[in-house]
A and B are shown apart, each in its own frame.
Chain A
Amino acid sequence: MSATRSNAGNAGEGETPPGASAIDAVYRFLSSVRFAIFVLSCIAVSCIIGTLIPQQAPVQEYLSRYSPSTYAILRFLGLTEVFHSPWFLFLAGLFVVNLFFCSLARLGRFLRGQREHRLPTEKALEAMPHFRLKGKGIEEARALFRGYRQAGNDERGMVLHKGSISRSGVYVIHGSIIIILIGSLLGLMFGYRGTVTLAKGETKDAIMKQGTSGSPMALGFSLRLTDFQLSFYPNGEPKDYVSSIEIVDKGEVVRKADVRVNHPLGYGGVSIYQATYGSDPAFLFDIGGEKVRLLQGSAYRKGDLTIMAVRFERSIHNFGPGVLIAYLEGNETKTSWFVKDVPRLREKDLMGVPVRLDGIESEYYTGLEVSHDPGVGVVWTGFAMILFGLYINFFMYERRIYLLTTPGGVLVAGSAPRNREAFREEFEKRREKAHGTEQ
Chain B
Amino acid sequence: MALNSKILGIVTLLYLCLFLIHLLYFATKKERFLRVMWVFLYFTFGLHSVGLIFRWVESYSPWTWISWLSLPLPNGPGHAPLSNFYESLIFYSWCIALVVIIMRKKLKVPLITAFASLAALFFMGYASLSPSVDRQIQPLIPALQSNWLHVHVFTCFIAYAAFAISFLCGLFYMFSMRGMPPKETLEELNYQSVMVGFPMLTAGILTGAVWAHYAWGAYWSWDPKETWSLITWIVYALFLHARFARGWKGRKIAMLSIIGFGSVIFTYIGVNFILSGLHSYGSPR
Contacts and interface: CB of A to CB of B under 8 A. Distances in A.
B214 A37 contact: no
A439 interface: no
Contacts of B77: 233, 239
A55 to B, nearest CB: 7
Contacts of B214: 262-264
B218 A193 contact: yes
B145 A40 contact: no
Interface string B136-161: 00110111011000000000000000
A262 B142 contact: yes
Interface string A390-403: 11011100000000
Interface stretch (B15-23, B28-36, B173-181, B194-202): B194-202
Given A376-B213, A379-B219, A233 B139 contact: yes
Given A3-B244, A262-B143, A40 B217 contact: no
A235 B143 CA distance: 17
Interface stretch (B37-45, B111-119, B228-236): B228-236
Nearest to B230: A47
A6 to B, nearest CB: 6
A37 B236 CA distance: 11
Nearest to B145: A262
A36 interface: yes
Interface residues of A, number: 57
Interface residues of B, number: 48
Contacts of B138: 235, 237
B224 A51 contact: yes
Interface string B207-250: 00110011111111010100110110011011011111111000
B230 A33 contact: no
Residues of B contacting A: mostly: helix
Nearest to A273: B217
A401 to B, nearest CB: 23
B203 interface: yes
A201 to B, nearest CB: 23
A36 B271 CA distance: 27
Interface in B86-112: 106
Given A37-B246, A383-B206, A387-B206, A262 B195 contact: no
B192 interface: yes
Contacts of A5: 244
B53 interface: no
B209 A394 contact: no
B123 interface: no
A387 B143 contact: no
15 contacts: A2-B191, A2-B244, A4-B244, A4-B245, A34-B246, A47-B228, A48-B231, A239-B139, A240-B142, A241-B142, A261-B143, A262-B214, A264-B217, A373-B218, A387-B206
